[in-house]
Amino acid sequence: MGFLSNLMGQKLVGTVKVRFYTEDEASVEYETDVSDQEQKEMDMNQVFALYYAKMLYNMNRGEYSDALIDYIQKAVSEIISDYGLNGLGRPSILASESFLASEQKLVEPKRGDAIKIYSGELFEKSNKTRIIQTHMSVAGENYYMPMSTVMFLQWLVKNLSDGSLVFVFREFRKNSLDVILFIGDAYFCGKISRASFET
């Protein structure tokens, strides 16, 4: 994939992999050659935003995509309200009220035991625009697409620096209705080029 992408004038920026070991347990890993921590975290946030949007696109407009949007909004708002922008801590969002049960948890990576793998590759084109390519295991998409997004967000909550976490959560809360829902609607209406979200 990397060699072919280079031939097409695309540079791989980073890759996220969400591995499910059971329906309730998953790990998240982010791989990149970027060494600068601030840039790395900016890229991680961008991967999440595009991955989230791509999952909404893949699910189409309906019960599962609407539930995911609602869940993400509530999780971000509740964490900011409960912990404040200056004291977020590292709370769990997995037990928040939604379609998720309380048993779901983020675990350390295990090799060779995954039953489902979801991934997203962030590429930068020669004109500096960025796209995401996603890869998904077949079967159970209505469960694993939203769950992989939530697990990715929980991983960000656990691993981002305070500054990056505050920034991304503030932006999600401030722009969730004006931007996130607009982005979702734009997919469903076909206003955003599918080329930006290549599968």
The whole-chain average pLDDT of the chain stands at 76
Say if strands 25-32 and 130-136 run parallel, antiparallel, or are unpaired: unpaired
Domain that holds residue 92: 2-197
pLDDT band at 88; cut points 50, 70, 90:
very low
> What local confidence, expressed as pLDDT, does residue 70 receive?
82
Residue 104: pLDDT band with limits 50, 70, 90: confident
Over residues 47-85, the pLDDT tens digits come to 988 898 889 888 887 788 888 888 887 777 766 665 554
> CA 45, CA 62: separation in Å to the nearest integer?
25
Paired residues of 133 in beta bridges: 121
Size of the chain, expressed as the number of residues it contains = 199
User: How many folded domains does the chain comprise?
Assistant: 1
Higher pLDDT among residues 101 and 12, named by residue: 12
What band does 187 get if pLDDT is binned at 50, 70 and 90?
very low
Segment among 6-10, 38-42, 120-124, 138-142 with least mean pLDDT: 6-10
Distance, CA of 85 to CA of 62 (rounded, Å): 32
The torsion angle over the Cα atoms of residues 15, 21, 22 and 23, rounded to 10 degrees, is 0
